[in-house]
Structure 1
Amino acid sequence: AALVGVLVTNLFGLTAEGLVQGGAETARLNAIESNYVGKVSDLSVPQLVLSFIPKNPFADLTGANPTSIISVVIFAAFLGVAALKLLKDDAPKGERVLTAIDTLQSWVMKLVRLVMQLTPYGVLALMTKVVAGSNLQDIIKLGSFVVASYLGLLIMFAVHGILLGINGVSPLKYFRKV
């Protein structure tokens, strides 16, 4: 795959010379470094362990602390254990909690599907904005990149088919089933 990538990029003359870190990205990186660097390393081991236990789970959901991810995972584990204990101690209430969780999960999945259905329109809007603000040369470079990407994919499908054939598997049957 790496060899195909190198060959296709050389064939199309693709380089990374135009890629630079933007001012907004530099500012974001500096903000992350100033917020997190040193905050965890300055903690003693007991303080670090205590920082994993969430003081405010909702603040940790926003990523407010350097240890927020671990705190959210621990809080979720506590919620799960509490739900299982409730189910064991008081089955009707436990069933209602599990039903509520299932309902909430279904509701969130409907929201995710809605967002996924709307995503192509958002991508179209972003592409339109970029194309409107670009000159023809930049669009041609982008088109060259897209063609190179598809060519690389096509070559990798061919390589995969050849490897299947060498190992006695019919590539046509395999790709039909896939």
Structure 2
Amino acid sequence: MAERKQWAQPKKSMPLYGRIFIALGVGIAFGYILNAIGGTHQPVINNHILPFLQFLGDFFIKLIKMVVVPLVFFCIVDAALSLGDINKLKSVGVTTIIWFLATGMISAMIGLFWVNLIQPGKGLQLGTVGSGVKTKALPGMYQTILDFIPANPFESLTSGSMMQIIVFSLFIGFAIISLGEKAEPLGKIFSMLSMVMFKIVDYVIAIIPVGVFGLMSTTMTKYGTAIFGPVLKFILTDYLACLSTTFGIYTLLLIFIGRVNVFTFWKKAFASWLVAFSTCTSSAALPVSMDIAPNKMGAPKDISSFILPLGCTAQMNGTCAYFAVVILFAAQLYGVELSLPQQILLCVQATFLSVGCAATPQIGLVISLTLMTQMGLPLDGYSLVAGIYRIVDQIHTATNSVGDLVATVCISNLQNELDHEKFDDLTLLDQKDGAS
């Protein structure tokens, strides 16, 4: 009898967000049980179990801290190199960069509005460090600009002064571009180092479930079910910030700068929005956007081919809003008061940091830890965000991705190159992708 061959289908590994949700659930359940049987008042739990759970969370956070500075440094150099030619900074290039920075700043300020209004971190006091946190006196405008420039770049890299690292990285990137062919090998090295850092990030991100389990179990053991109210309010605040940007700011930009019908825009842009929302990466939505912009919205191919790929890295409006929300959320959890000028400075820093956030799932979670550290906030509440980050990251990515299409349409119109007849033609929706 001939041996019957069985062709086994290769097992698909569970996606990372699935593993994080499981770790979150197990951490909640385990922490709830520990809390119910005594929590920190039980010597065995407090002296043996809790320190191990805290170790798991601290191990994960330490790895993230390890990777953030070189990640931002190499990736922003690589982002600058993606411009390809200093001449591109003229006309479309300058307009695009200003657009990305301006919309990012506006989105961050919208995030500040909602987090100050809803105050999701109020009602659960994770600690009493509010009076112990020393905030630096805010310098004047001129001094603030001077503080962006590092006196010693190596010291800035060592201390993790992100704004100074970003400025230094941009100077390196533009200098390499200016040198042309002579500096191409160095540019390739920086691009490769950027890829290496993202590979390391992949390794670190792979252990997020372990870190989430440790952090969530620890938090649940200490505070019990009181944590759920702030978490739900945080999700609501974050979504409101991103939706306000999408349906408020983008609508105004499309009407007054793009001079187009908003409903027509959404009929054509929805596919790209949905891909970004479901995959949590703008890179996945990029091919869809690259088809929609020239073929269905009437944007010139040279403009869309410049703005959309650059926007994948440099326009992170949803992430900017998240940075503002998560920092104030963490501050509220610990009773730390940030003045309005400090919050505005936070918006500036969040905007520039977002320039280096590549279109990779979970990258906002990595970068947000940097901002928490720079603001001097305790990191215990980080688990509350890490466990549900996939939920909020979906709206961040969708906001980022559709913002690239908004920028393409509006900048094309500013250049008087948008084909309004093609934009208004809804029959193009029936054409297959790639049709011209």
Shift of 1:23: 2.1
The equivalent residue for 2:337 is none
2:127 to 19, 22, 32: 22
Say whether 1:57 aligns with 2:153: yes
Structure 2: distance between partners of 1:128 and 1:114: 23
Please list the CA deviations of residues 107-144 of structure 1 after superposition, one character each: whole Å capped at 9, or x if unmatched: 1001111111111110101122233345xxx33x5567
Equivalent residue letter for 2:195: S
Structure 2: distance between partners of 1:144 and 1:23: 19
* Shift in CA distance, 27/83, structure 1 to aligned 2, threshold 3 Å: same
The equivalent residue for 1:76 is 169
Structure 1 unaligned regions, length at least 5: 1-14, 153-166, 168-173
Please list the CA deviations of residues 140-160 of structure 1 after superposition, one character each: whole Å capped at 9, or x if unmatched: x556777x78xx8xxxxxxxx
* Shift in CA distance, 76/16, structure 1 to aligned 2, threshold 3 Å: closer
Structure 1: distance between partners of 2:173 and 2:121: 47
Structure 2: distance between partners of 1:21 and 1:145: 11
1:52-131 pair list within 5 angstroms: 52-61=148-157, 62=159, 69=163, 71-88=164-181, 90=182, 94-131=183-220
* Shift in CA distance, 86/26, structure 1 to aligned 2, threshold 3 Å: same
* Shift in CA distance, 53/129, structure 1 to aligned 2, threshold 3 Å: closer
The equivalent residue for 2:385 is none
Equivalent residue letter for 2:170: A
Q: Which has the larger radius of gyration?
A: 1
RMSD, matched Cα:
4.6
Structure 2: distance between partners of 1:19 and 1:96: 53
Q: How many residues align?
A: 129
Q: Secondary structure at the match of 2:192?
A: helix
Structure 1: distance between partners of 2:187 and 2:166: 19
Structure 1: distance between partners of 2:126 and 2:218: 20
* Shift in CA distance, 118/63, structure 1 to aligned 2, threshold 3 Å: closer
Please list the CA deviations of residues 39-58 of structure 1 after superposition, one character each: whole Å capped at 9, or x if unmatched: x23x8x4x665444321113
Please list the CA deviations of residues 75-99 of structure 1 after superposition, one character each: whole Å capped at 9, or x if unmatched: 22220122113334x2xxx231122
- TM-score, normalised to structure 2's length? 0.24
* Shift in CA distance, 25/108, structure 1 to aligned 2, threshold 3 Å: farther
* Shift in CA distance, 24/56, structure 1 to aligned 2, threshold 3 Å: same
Q: Secondary structure at the match of 1:23?
A: coil
Structure 2 unaligned regions, length at least 5: 1-119, 237-262, 264-270, 279-436
The equivalent residue for 2:253 is none
* Shift in CA distance, 25/63, structure 1 to aligned 2, threshold 3 Å: farther
* Shift in CA distance, 133/51, structure 1 to aligned 2, threshold 3 Å: closer
* Shift in CA distance, 26/98, structure 1 to aligned 2, threshold 3 Å: same
- TM-score, normalised to structure 1's length? 0.50
The equivalent residue for 1:163 is none
Is the contact between residue 150 and residue 168 of structure 2 (CA under 8 Å) also seen in structure 1? yes
Please list the CA deviations of residues 12-69 of structure 1 after superposition, one character each: whole Å capped at 9, or x if unmatched: xxx97743473234322x2x23xxx05x23x8x4x665444321113234356xxx61
Equivalent residue letter for 2:186: V
Is the contact between residue 123 and residue 230 of structure 2 (CA under 8 Å) also seen in structure 1? no
1:166-177 pair list within 5 angstroms: none
